[in-house]
Amino acid sequence: MVALRTSAGRKAGARQFSKSWKQYQNQNNQESPAPKGFGSRLRFALRNTKVEWYPIPVGLGIGLLGILHFYKSQRAEQERREREAEDEIINPPPRHRIKPSGPWQVQIMSTLPLKAISRLWGRFNELELPVFLRAPGFKLYSWVFGVNLDEVEQQDLRTYPNLAAFFYRRLKPGARPLDPDTHAVISPSDGRILQFGLIERGEVEQVKGVTYSLDALLGAATPSHADHSKKFTDHSTEPSQKDAADMAADEEFARMNGIPYTLPTLFAGDQGGARHRSASLDASTGSKAAAEAEVKADLARGDGAPWYAPKPKSNNALYYVVIYLAPGDYHRFHSPVPWVVESRRHFAGELYSVSPYLQRHLPGLFTLNERVVLLGRWRWGFFSYTPVGATNVGSIKVNFDSELRTNSLTTDTAADMAAALAAKRGEQYPGFVEATYLHASRTLKGHPLQRGEEMGGFQLGSTIVLVFEAPMGTRKSFDAGYQEGKREGGWNWTIEMGQRIKVGEKLGYVDTEK
């Protein structure tokens, strides 16, 4: 039998054997008239009412208990689902890792926690050294790795607090003069030429006989302007005098370097366009994200050519050059040409060594490693600049991108989360996170860089891959004075395989002589 709690009035004939002060007050309250307010009456009733229990039918009690149990189980299931969803967001599963094939040395290296080792090495490099150890320690490092201390800006080596500061050292002004040929592409860094040549069928040669796909290096998806609202936002419709001056400078930069640009309406802004658009009726309905992505990719392919391919009628081609930076080289990198950086892609990959040995034995090395792909344009068309990370490279820095974080747990977790969300939507994870510099310049729609301007640097030696579009030109016939390797009106290399090169030296040039 189930008991139900009810209340009844106190029996008048109950005898009390003792009386406390509280009972005396209760008795006085009973003798006094009941209060008139609802709250007062409620408190009075609760204080002066005896609780009694009465039985209810067994079926009603069982039904009540069943309802309570069902409610609690449903609530527990909902909390479990919410908790699992939060765990997926906070602790996403790791991305699928590509297991490289190769000799046993490569197999062993693929099992090592190279990213964690690189983070620890970066922490070690940031430890402050005792003043008396700095000069002899840096001189020993310079002797081992061939650093020219005469070029260092700070001749007093004691001013460098740690190894990281010495790795990222500046050079004296004029230590790296730029080649005077304005039609040349200059070296973006000190280092050694690993590979260079013409890109055919979308393949880049890593070493002789070993190639990798350009889609894998740069990303197959067409560059978008996603997430640009979070950075470089500009809400003004009428530019200030400073904006107008900046736009004039950008126009001059584009005109001098032959870069196409658009001139926005200075005084009307976007208001006229907004009024014109508001006059028409918007009859559109929502579309599926998966359908949009598929159609967008299909339209971008057009005739089947990738997004970075030159236009068929332009007689242009894609060229590439790979420069390896040794631990003793100058670690900052510079702009090889005047160009506009439109977007950035961060591939949070592995951190294998980029030594010549591993390049010979690990196909697609640069497509596996963490890298920052800068995409843009120069006077001849497409231009890309890719600093590639390596083992013990603490980070890749880009001076005009304060949000970029490389070789960190935060970016790895963000990449895992993006991959998990893409899988949940039934989409394929592109492998990178994209940001845009669309609002860096209202005229150029990107971040302009001058020839030789410092762009960033590595925390140790690594690799830079340049891929750019340039005219192919034509070869002279034997009767017209044929020269081997010389193309009239097109791109010509001036470097050799394995050559040592420094910032500002000529990699090649576009022959503009008629």
* CA angle 385–388–394, rounded 5-degree value: 125
The rounded mean pLDDT for the chain is: 74
For 106-181, where are the E strands, in sequence order? Answer: none
Of 6-20, 63-77, 433-447, the least confident:
6-20
Q: Which of 379, 305, 281, 287 is nearest to 339 (CA)?
A: 379
What is the rounded CA–CA span in Å between residue 162 and residue 178? 30
pLDDT digits (tens, 9 = 90+) for 416-437: 677 667 667 676 767 788 888 8
Note if 334 is an active site residue.
yes
Predicted local distance difference test score (pLDDT) of residue 276: 36
- pTM for the predicted model, two decimal places: 0.68
Of 95-109, 334-348, 391-405, the least confident:
95-109
List CB contacts of 354: < 8 A, sequence separation 6 or more: 324, 365, 366, 369, 388, 390, 462, 463
Intra-chain end-to-end CA distance of the chain, in Å: 109
Predicted local distance difference test score (pLDDT) of residue 30: 55
What is the rounded CA–CA span in Å between residue 322 and residue 466? 7
pLDDT digits (tens, 9 = 90+) for 299-334: 454 455 666 677 766 788 899 999 998 888 999 999
The owner of tokens 């002279």 is 476
Q: Provide the sign of the torsion angle of the four alpha carbons 157, 162, 165, 167, taken in this order.
A: positive
Q: By the 8 A CB rule, do 337 and 378 touch?
A: yes
Predicted local distance difference test score (pLDDT) of residue 254: 62
What is the rounded CA–CA span in Å between residue 396 and residue 168? 11
Q: Is the pLDDT of residue 190 over 90?
A: yes
Task: Identify the active-site residue in 190, 250, 329, 401.
Answer: 190
Task: Identify the active-site residue in 118, 250, 329, 334.
Answer: 334
Strands 463-471 and 316-324: antiparallel
Note if 441 is an active site residue.
no
The amino acid that residue 129 corresponds to is L
pLDDT digits (tens, 9 = 90+) for 197-250: 998 888 887 765 567 788 888 887 777 654 433 333 333 334 455 566 666 666
Q: Exposed (0-12), middle (13-18) or buried (19+): which is 269, by Cβ within 10 Å?
A: middle
Note if 462 is an active site residue.
yes
Q: By the 8 A CB rule, do 50 and 10 touch?
A: yes
